[in-house]
Amino acid sequence: MYIVIVGAGGIGTPLIEVATAGGNEVVVIEHDAAKAEAAATEYDCLVLNDDATIKETLEDAGADRADALISTTERDATNIMVCLLAQELDVPDVVSVVHDPDHLNVFRQIGVTGMENPQRLIAEHLYRAATRPSIVDFMRIGEHAEVFEVTVAEDADIAGYTLAEADEAGLLPEETLIVAVEREGGDPITPRGGTRIEVGDLLAVYSGEGATPEVTDVFGCDEDHAGAPRQRRERY
pLDDT tens per residue, range 50-101: 999 999 999 999 999 999 999 999 999 999 999 999 999 999 999 999 998 8
Q: In the chain, list all ranges with CATH 3.40.50.720.
A: 2-115
What architecture does CATH give domain 2-115?
A: 3-Layer(aba) Sandwich (3.40)
Return the SS3 of 87.
Answer: helix
Give the confidence band of 133 by pLDDT, cuts at 50, 70, 90: low
Query: Sign of torsion, CA 42 75 137 221?
Result: positive
Percent of the chain with pLDDT over 90: 65
Asked whether the beta carbons of 187 and 132 are under 8 A apart, the reply is no
What band does 118 get if pLDDT is binned at 50, 70 and 90?
Answer: confident
Between strands 68-71 and 93-98, the pairing is parallel
Alpha carbon distance 79, 165 (integer Å): 50
Amino acid, single-letter form, for residue 50: D
198 pLDDT above the threshold of 90 = yes
pLDDT of residue 226: 38
What pLDDT band is residue 131 in, cutting at 50, 70 and 90? low
CATH superfamily of domain region 121-219: Regulator of K+ conductance, C-terminal domain (3.30.70.1450)
Where in the chain is CATH 3.30.70.1450?
121-219
Please report the pLDDT score of residue 146 as a whole number: 85
pTM of model > 0.85:
no
Q: Looking at the DSSP assignment, which residues form a beta bridge with residue 95? A: 70, 113
Distance, in Å, from the CA atom of 236 to the CA atom of 226, rounded to the nearest integer, reads 29
Average pLDDT value for residue range 137-159: 83
- DSSP E strands in 152-234: the ranges are 176-182, 202-207
